[in-house]
């Protein structure tokens, strides 16, 4: 997706057969967030600064700098998602936005990570991850391309 | 995901093609017959797979008499190396985990 600033977004939408309030809890309860995303010190409050932390890997310090930018309880939450350490050198700064829309079956969950510049699409960054690491999950990822 | 990345992903999602590409990445230039010897499928099948890899920009070929020689193009993986692709794989994996968690959550 292109925007007028010339940046691109990654968008993933999934309809989930669960009540919206349950999905909202999984997105905003720090204990639940840690279970499916990463360890964190998240608080659902605009302006709150926090980190997501994963175990460091050879080319990734595992720490992401975040700040809650927008909050509409039960409907939408947005936070800064900025890599730190060596990854910050690429200048990559993004915003992650989660939006919930009730549907007859449950809820449509829309994920958007915005702010990718043209140079982020084919940057040296990914090369550090080694293409062989990608190949492990490739079949699963390819199977999801039609999402 | 960009069209180029999509094509690279799809061509490498087949285990036989991935094995051919990995073999070429290690082995320099190889002929179709040399690749067939270790591929476990017929020579026409190997040629077909190599054609897919070539259209995805992952291998180059060179005719020499009756033999066609193939060589890996590691730079063909470039569409997979950007941040968008990296995060695409990351978030799809995390959303799978989110769904499993929601499944197990009590109301």
CA closest to B11 among chain A residues: A142
Quick one: B12 exposed, middle or buried, by C-beta within 10 A (0-12, 13-18, 19+)? buried
- Residue from B7, B24, B84 to probe the interface with A (highest A Cβ count within 10 Å): B84
Per-residue confidence band for A125, with pLDDT thresholds at 50, 70 and 90: very low
Q: Looking at the predicted structure, is the pLDDT value of residue B6 above 50?
A: yes
Q: What is the mean pLDDT of residues A88-101?
A: 90
Q: Tell me the C-alpha distance between B35 and B22, whole Å.
A: 11
pLDDT single digits (tens) A20-66? 999 999 999 999 999 999 999 999 999 999 999 988 876 678 899 99
- CATH code of the domain occupying A8-143: 3.30.530.20
Q: Looking at the predicted structure, is the pLDDT value of residue A126 above 80?
A: no
CATH of the domain at B53: 1.10.10.10
For chain B, the domain total comes to 1
Question: Which two structure tokens, joined as six digits, stand for B45?
Answer: 């099948």
Bigger pLDDT: A88 or A27?
A27
∠ CA B36-B42-B48, nearest 5°, is: 85
Distance in Å from the first CA to the final CA of chain B: 35
Q: What is the mean pLDDT of residues B69-84?
A: 81
On whether any CB of chain B is under 8 Å from the CB of A60, the answer is no
Neighbours of A15 (CB within 10 A): 14
pLDDT attached to residue A141: 42
Q: Closest approach of chain B CAs to the CA of A47, in angstroms? A: 24
Per-residue confidence band for B84, with pLDDT thresholds at 50, 70 and 90: confident
Q: Tell me the C-alpha distance between A47 and A110, whole Å.
A: 22
pLDDT attached to residue A132: 43
CB B25 within 8 A of CB B72: yes
DSSP H/E element including B17:
helix B15-27
CB A6 within 8 A of CB A117: yes
Q: Kindly state whether residue B94 falls inside one of the protein's structural domains.
A: no
Q: Kindly state whether residue B92 falls inside one of the protein's structural domains.
A: no
pLDDT single digits (tens) B7-50? 888 888 888 998 999 889 887 899 999 999 988 899 999 999 99
Domain definitions of chain A by residue range: 8-143
Q: Tell me, yes or no, if the pTM score tops 0.95.
A: no
DSSP H/E element including B3:
helix B3-12
Q: Closest approach of chain B CAs to the CA of A35, in angstroms? A: 8
% of chain B with per-residue pLDDT over 70: 93
The 10 Å CB-count burial string (b at 16+, else e) for A54-93 is eeeeeebeebbbbebeebeeeebbbbbbbbeeebeebebb
% of chain A with per-residue pLDDT over 70: 76
Q: Which domain holds residue B67?
A: 3-77
Bigger pLDDT: B79 or B76?
B76
pLDDT attached to residue A135: 47
Neighbours of A100 (CB within 10 A): 21
- For every residue of A9-60, DSSP letters joined together read EEEEEEEESS-HHHHHHHHH-HHHHHHHT-EE---SSTT-EEEEE---BTTB
């Amino acid at each position: 997706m292109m925007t007028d600033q010339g940046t691109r977004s990654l968008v993933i939408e999934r309809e989930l057969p669960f009540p919206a309030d349950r999905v909202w809890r999984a997105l905003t309860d720090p204990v639940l967030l840690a279970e499916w995303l990463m360890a964190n010190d998240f608080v659902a409050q605009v302006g709150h600064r926090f980190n997501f932390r994963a175990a460091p890997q050879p080319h990734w310090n595992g720490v992401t700098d975040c700040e809650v930018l927008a909050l509409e309880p039960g409907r939408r939450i947005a936070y800064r998602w900025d890599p730190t350490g060596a990854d910050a050198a690429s200048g990559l700064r993004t915003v992650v936005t989660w939006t919930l829309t009730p549907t007859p079956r449950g809820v449509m969950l829309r994920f958007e990570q915005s702010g990718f510049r043209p140079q982020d699409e084919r940057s040296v960054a990914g090369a550090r991850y080694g293409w062989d690491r990608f190949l492990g999950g490739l079949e699963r990822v390819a199977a999801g391309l039609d999402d | 995901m960009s069209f180029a990345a999509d094509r690279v992903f799809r061509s490498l999602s087949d285990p036989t093609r991935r094995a051919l590409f990995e073999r070429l990445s290690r082995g320099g230039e190889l002929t179709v017959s040399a690749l067939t010897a270790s591929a476990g499928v017929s020579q026409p099948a190997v040629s077909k797979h190599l054609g897919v890899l070539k259209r995805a920009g992952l291998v180059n070929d060179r005719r020499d008499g009756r033999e066609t020689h193939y060589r890996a193009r590691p730079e063909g993986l470039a569409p997979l190396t950007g941040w968008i692709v990296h995060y695409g794989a990351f978030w799809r994996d995390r959303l799978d985990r989110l769904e499993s968690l929601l499944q197990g959550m009590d109301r």
